[in-house]
Amino acid sequence: MHVDLHTQDDALRALAPEWDALLEASTAPSVFLTHAWVSTWWDVFGAAHQLHLLTARDEAGALIGIAPCFIRREAEGFAPTLRVLMLLGQQGDTLAEELGCIVKTGEEDRVASALAQHLMASQPEHFDVIHFERVRSDSTCVPALVRALDAGGLATERRAEQPSPYLPLPTDADALLQPFSKNFRSQLRSGRNRLAREGTVELRVAGEDVDVATAFESLVALHRTRWGPDDGSFDTPDYVAFHRALCPQLLAQGRLLLVLLCLDGTPIAAR
């Protein structure tokens, strides 16, 4: 096995054909680790940083591991500038979750050991500190990497962060509404009927009933109208540019569901 360091944007783009195939062969695939998400994040937010992308290939040349990293320079007051190795997606005004390394299932320990050896050998030249956050709790590679770094004499510390709760949803609307009170369900029906009396109500799905670019701009406009320009979402050019560029890619992969609720043809809500 050999590990290679890539610092040029072209290398990140060139990995596209292999990247998602490896992700699907890993134990913890996540939309936040897809090539579309990572490469778009780098295109929008990476200008101030240095790409530090590690790839691991087996003896036959097959890609079996990726450590999607970058180096951020941090300075406080008169202290020396600190070079911090982070995961692509950690910074910027988007909140990526479920970050980590991408490794073929069954190769975690071997890849982690090779990555750790490379990081320890290159650490004095390239970075001062490794800071990985928002790593999947079920990640198998990052804990293996931490063990390998510990074994190599590099001091590590792991901190638990705030969990990301989720709720499994049923597959049909009736089952979804069943746990709610009879009064709530009655109010919901009344609201639907009132809306229907005001005009023609329809749902438009991006990529089917409306093109994704138009749907996205409607989402941004509705969000800003409802919450104002400074609520924390869609209030910076980079945030908007990132999602505008990402949506068509996710749609092509079947990973995007963007729906407009329209009244007489005019969008009044988006999700």
Residue that has been written with the tokens 């897809």 in this structure: 34
Residue that has been written with the tokens 């409306």 in this structure: 210
Q: What is the per-residue pLDDT for 58?
A: 95
Q: What is the per-residue pLDDT for 233?
A: 77
Strands 82-87 and 129-130: parallel
**What is the full DSSP assignment across 172-214?**
SHHHHHTTS-HHHHHHHHHHHHHHHHHS-EEEEEBTTTB-HHH
Contact, 46 vs 65, CB < 8 A?
A: no
CA-CA-CA-CA dihedral for 163, 154, 53, 97, to nearest 10: 0
Whether residue 43 is predicted with pLDDT greater than 80 in this model: the reply is: yes
Q: What is the per-residue pLDDT for 264?
A: 96
pTM listed for this prediction: 0.89
Helices (H), the chain: 9-14, 16-24, 35-45, 108-126, 141-151, 173-177, 182-198, 212-227, 237-252
Separation of alpha carbons 227 and 144, rounded Å: 43
Separation of alpha carbons 160 and 133, rounded Å: 10
Show the tokens assigned to 196. 């229907």
Q: What is the per-residue pLDDT for 6?
A: 96
Give the number of other CB atoms < 10 A from CB of residue 132.
Answer: 19
Show the tokens assigned to 131. 């800071």
Strands 50-57 and 2-6: antiparallel
Task: Tell me the Cα Rg of the chain.
Answer: 22
CA-CA-CA-CA dihedral for 190, 191, 197, 200, to nearest 10: -130
Could you read off the pLDDT of 49-74 as tens digits, one per residue? 999 999 999 999 999 999 999 999 98
The phi, psi pair for 221, rounded to 5°, reads -65, -45
User: Which residue would you say has higher pLDDT here, 158 or 106?
Assistant: 106
Give the amino acid at 87: L
Query: 3-class SS at 30?
Result: coil
Could you read off the pLDDT of 150-191 as tens digits, one per residue? 888 887 887 777 677 778 889 888 899 888 999 999 999 999
Q: How confident is the model at residue 232 (pLDDT cuts 50, 70, 90)?
A: low
Separation of alpha carbons 56 and 9, rounded Å: 18
Contact, 71 vs 127, CB < 8 A?
A: yes
